[in-house]
Amino acid sequence: MAIEDVLFPGIDVQVTAVYAAVEGAVVEAAACGRPPDCPSCGCPGRRVHSRYRRRLAERPVAGRPLVISLWVRRFFCEQAGCRRRTFVEQVPDLSERYRRHSVGLRQWMRAIATFLGGRPGQRLCHILQLPTGRTHLLSLLTAPPVPEQAPRVLGVDEFAFRKGWRYGTVLVDVEAARVVDVLPDRDAATFAAWLHEHPGAEIICRDRATAYSTAIREAAPDAQEVADRWHLLHNLSAAVEKTCVQHRVCLRKQADAERQSPPRRIINPLPPPTLPPTKMAVRTVDRYSDIHRLLREGCSISEIARRLHLDRKTVRHFRDTDLDTLLASSRMGRPRGVLEPYTTYITERFTDGVTSPTDLYREIRDRGYQGSDLPVRRYVAGLRTGTIEPARGAIPSPRKITKWIMLPRGTLDHDEEDELLGVRLACPDIARACDLARTFHDLLQHRRGHQLLAWVREAERDAPPPVLAFAQGLCLDLDAVTAGLTLAWSSGIVEGHVNRIKTIKRAMYGRASFRLLRTRILLRS
Q: What is the pLDDT of residues 184-236, one digit of tens each?
A: 999 999 999 999 999 999 999 998 888 899 999 999 999 999 999 999 999 99
Q: Do 444 and 233 touch, CB atoms closer than 8 A?
A: yes
Report yes or no on 257 lying in a domain.
Answer: no
In this predicted structure, what is the pLDDT of residue 392?
Answer: 58
In this predicted structure, what is the pLDDT of residue 273?
Answer: 46
275 and 362 share a domain?
yes
Share of the chain above pLDDT 70, in %: 91
300 and 195 share a domain?
no
465 and 435 share a domain?
yes
* Residue 172 C-alpha from the chain's centroid: 16
In this predicted structure, what is the pLDDT of residue 355?
Answer: 86
358 and 402 share a domain?
no
Q: Number of folded domains in the chain? A: 5
Specify the pairing of strand 203-206 against strand 224-227.
parallel
Q: Average pLDDT of 90-113?
A: 90
In this predicted structure, what is the pLDDT of residue 276?
Answer: 46
158 and 174 share a domain?
yes
Lowest-pLDDT range of 352-356, 367-371, 379-383, 510-514:
510-514
Q: Average pLDDT of 18-45?
A: 88
283 and 369 share a domain?
yes
CA atoms of 471 and 453, how far apart (whole Å): 9
174 and 202 share a domain?
yes
Taking Cα atoms as reference points, which of 250, 241, 242 lies closest to residue 393? 250
Residue 496 scores a pLDDT above 70: yes
Residue 373 scores a pLDDT above 90: no
Residue 12 scores a pLDDT above 60: yes
In this predicted structure, what is the pLDDT of residue 241?
Answer: 93
The tens digit of pLDDT for each residue in 287-328 reads: 999 999 999 999 999 999 999 999 999 999 999 888 877 776
Provide the domain limits for residue 416: 230-247+396-484
Report yes or no on 78 lying in a domain.
Answer: yes
User: What's at 15, amino acid-wise?
Assistant: V
In this predicted structure, what is the pLDDT of residue 264?
Answer: 45
Share of the chain above pLDDT 90, in %: 43
Sign of CA dihedral 279, 280, 286, 290: positive
In this predicted structure, what is the pLDDT of residue 267?
Answer: 47
69 and 15 share a domain?
yes
Residue 271 scores a pLDDT above 60: no
More confident residue, 491 or 347: 491
431 and 464 share a domain?
yes
Q: Average pLDDT of 174-188?
A: 93
Residue 101 scores a pLDDT above 80: yes
Q: Average pLDDT of 244-256?
A: 80
345 and 275 share a domain?
yes
CA atoms of 433 and 441, how far apart (whole Å): 12
In this predicted structure, what is the pLDDT of residue 265?
Answer: 45
CATH of the domain at 193: 3.30.420.10
Contacts of 476 (CB under 8 A, 6+ apart): none
406 and 512 share a domain?
no
Report yes or no on 146 lying in a domain.
Answer: no
Element counts in the chain: helices (H) and strands (E): 23, 10
**Inter-axis angle of helices 428-445 and 398-406, to 10 degrees?**
40
CA atoms of 282 and 249, how far apart (whole Å): 25
The tens digit of pLDDT for each residue in 127-168 reads: 888 888 888 898 888 888 998 999 999 999 999 988 888 899
Across the strands, what pairs with 29?
15, 70
Mean pLDDT over the full length of the chain: 86
In this predicted structure, what is the pLDDT of residue 296?
Answer: 92
Lowest-pLDDT range of 267-271, 371-375, 411-415, 419-423:
267-271
- 196 in helix, strand or coil? helix
In this predicted structure, what is the pLDDT of residue 390?
Answer: 59
Angle at 342 between CA 341 and CA 344, to 5 degrees: 100
In this predicted structure, what is the pLDDT of residue 341?
Answer: 76
In this predicted structure, what is the pLDDT of residue 194?
Answer: 94
Taking Cα atoms as reference points, which of 448, 454, 451 lies closest to residue 485? 448
Number of residues that this document lists for the chain: 525
Q: How confident is the model at residue 393 (pLDDT cuts 50, 70, 90)?
A: low
CA atoms of 335 and 379, how far apart (whole Å): 7
In this predicted structure, what is the pLDDT of residue 394?
Answer: 63
8 and 61 share a domain?
yes
The tens digit of pLDDT for each residue in 468-493 reads: 999 999 998 899 999 999 999 989 99
- 20 in helix, strand or coil? strand
In this predicted structure, what is the pLDDT of residue 9?
Answer: 85
Report yes or no on 505 lying in a domain.
Answer: yes
In this predicted structure, what is the pLDDT of residue 255?
Answer: 67
CA atoms of 180 and 174, how far apart (whole Å): 10
Report yes or no on 256 lying in a domain.
Answer: no
In this predicted structure, what is the pLDDT of residue 387?
Answer: 65
Q: Average pLDDT of 369-378?
A: 87
CA atoms of 291 and 297, how far apart (whole Å): 10
Q: Average pLDDT of 373-391?
A: 78
In this predicted structure, what is the pLDDT of residue 331?
Answer: 52
